[in-house]
Structure 1
Amino acid sequence: MRTVLAIGGHIGDMDLTAGPTLAKLALEGARTIILACTYGERGHPRLSPDEYRVQKVREGEEFAAGIGAEFRVLDYSDGFLPADDTAADQIADIIRVEKPDTIITHWPKSIHRDHEHAAVLAERARFLASLPVDSPLGRHSVATFLHADNWEDADGFVPDLYVPIPEEAFERWAAAIQGQAFARGETYGFRYIDYYTALMSAKGCLAGVDRACGFVRGGSSKFELAGP
């Protein structure tokens, strides 16, 4: 069984950017895991961080269930994700245990430091997990490393891969993402769902299908998710 691990800076990041692709893969029988590195709890203008953290975790769990994925979140606060080996080791242990074939994460140039750090941590964790260290979890090498298309991580992002999103996967994603307050525009008003829905249509035009998600391949990885 293929396993895909999507690593985002905050709860909701990978839901928007990689979510349609994860929904497609889940429908095809793959195991999909969403890992948020922080709670993303400081992004609500009316709720306290403690209140919003509880809501964000619930929203992340419900979104993952809605598309057939698993959900994890590290215990880091929004805006304070470190790019160090302590955090990278935590992710490396998840890689060793879950043995993903593919990692999806942020593009490393972003307006958000947590996004940049998540990208750095994902790549560092991929490396650490592959080393023959003295760990009861063993070692695991991840063949494919992809960067997702995020409007906040746009500097220099030029997709070199398009994954077609079939109607059933899109409908699963569209229904699940409605459960996230920030995605509905209830925090600072940005119409995330409209944006990413339109982005899939635009990328679909380039790929010759109704909808598609764009990615940049990282390193020398080979992509095996797009299908025919």
Structure 2
Amino acid sequence: MRLMAVMAHPDDAEIWCGGTLILHAEKGDAVRICSLSYKGESVRGKEAQEGAKRMGCEVEFLGLKDTSIRDTDEAAEQLRRAIDSFRPDTIITHWFDDMHLDHEATFRVVRRALVCDFLVNSMDDFNAFPRIFCCDTYASLGLHGPFKPDRFVDVTHIWEKKKAAIKAHESQILSLYIDMIDRQCLSHGKAAGTKRAEGFFYLPLFGRPDDGAPLGD
């Protein structure tokens, strides 16, 4: 698998899907994080590089401004080039109903970039189009209701590694995020019949069927 997590901010991958990224990296899959905001030389960029290292992932930055991510042709073209260079078969990104404006905008940039890439590269083959999974959000609540995952990834045995990756982001409010995501993973774990899990749901963009390839296994 070639897995790309397209996130608004440098710590989002660790928080919302870090366990899943760790599992795939440990399997030997190619895993890359694309942070729409910040640059690698910034404080948060350096923290993201350390977090990615702890997860066994690559990370790149598009350098957009925090709190000002917008669904524009320019942002989508930047992301399209990043997607085209990595050619993921699976993408994890934010939920379209996320109440954080940067998160919602990131989903829209992903959609716009994939539409452009699809028209250029995948028109004759739906299976060449990546699978898209949306990740959880704050308190699992969106603008129009709760987040309802249809896919769970057991992160019980790598929970400490996920926490260690989050802790790389020393400039952030670590206790708040770790407590929040612990409660969410415990809740998803209960739904999945395990101790801790990350939750996602599959988004059939362009009607691309889910081929059933495992996420996290």
The bucket for the TM-score relative to the shorter chain is 0.7 to 0.9
TM-score by length of 1: 0.82
Gaps of 5+ in 2: 122-126
* Residue correspondences, number: 203
CA distance in 2, matches of 1:183, 1:124: 32
1:227 Cα deviation after fit: 6.0
Equivalent-residue separation in structure 1 for 2:130 and 2:15 (angstroms): 24
Residue equivalent to 1:188: none
User: Which residue identity lines up with residue 144 of structure 1 in the other structure?
Assistant: R
Alignment pair present for 1:209 and 2:194: yes
Shift in Å at residue 195 of structure 1? 1.3
1:2-42 alpha-carbon deviations (Å, 9 max, x no partner): 111111111111220011110111111111111111129xx
Q: Does 2:62 match 1:61?
A: no
1:164 to 154, 170, 185: 154
Give the aligned residue type for 1:146. Answer: F
Query: Which has more helix, going by share of residues?
Result: 2
**1:116-155 equivalence runs, <5 A:** 116-132=104-120, 141-151=128-138, 154-155=141-142
**In terms of mean alpha carbon deviation, does 122-131 or 176-185 score higher?**
176-185
Distance 1:217 1:193 in 2: 25
C-alpha RMSD over aligned residues: 2.1
What is residue 34 of structure 1 aligned with on the other side? 33
Could you state the TM-score of these two structures normalised by the residue count of structure 2? Answer: 0.86
Structure 2 contact 23–216 (Cα < 8 Å) conserved = no
Deviation of the 1:101 alpha carbon: 0.8
Structure 1 contact 108–153 (Cα < 8 Å) conserved? no
Q: 1:91 to 1:152 in 2, by over 3 A?
A: farther
Contact 1:165/1:212 (<8 A) preserved: yes
Gaps of 5+ in 1: 41-52, 134-139, 186-190
Deviation at 1:55, TM superposition (A): 1.4
Inter-CA distance 205–100: structure 2 relative to 1 (3 Å threshold): same
Tell me which residue corresponds to 1:8.
7
CA shift, 1:170, in A, is: 2.1
Letter of the 1:15 counterpart: E
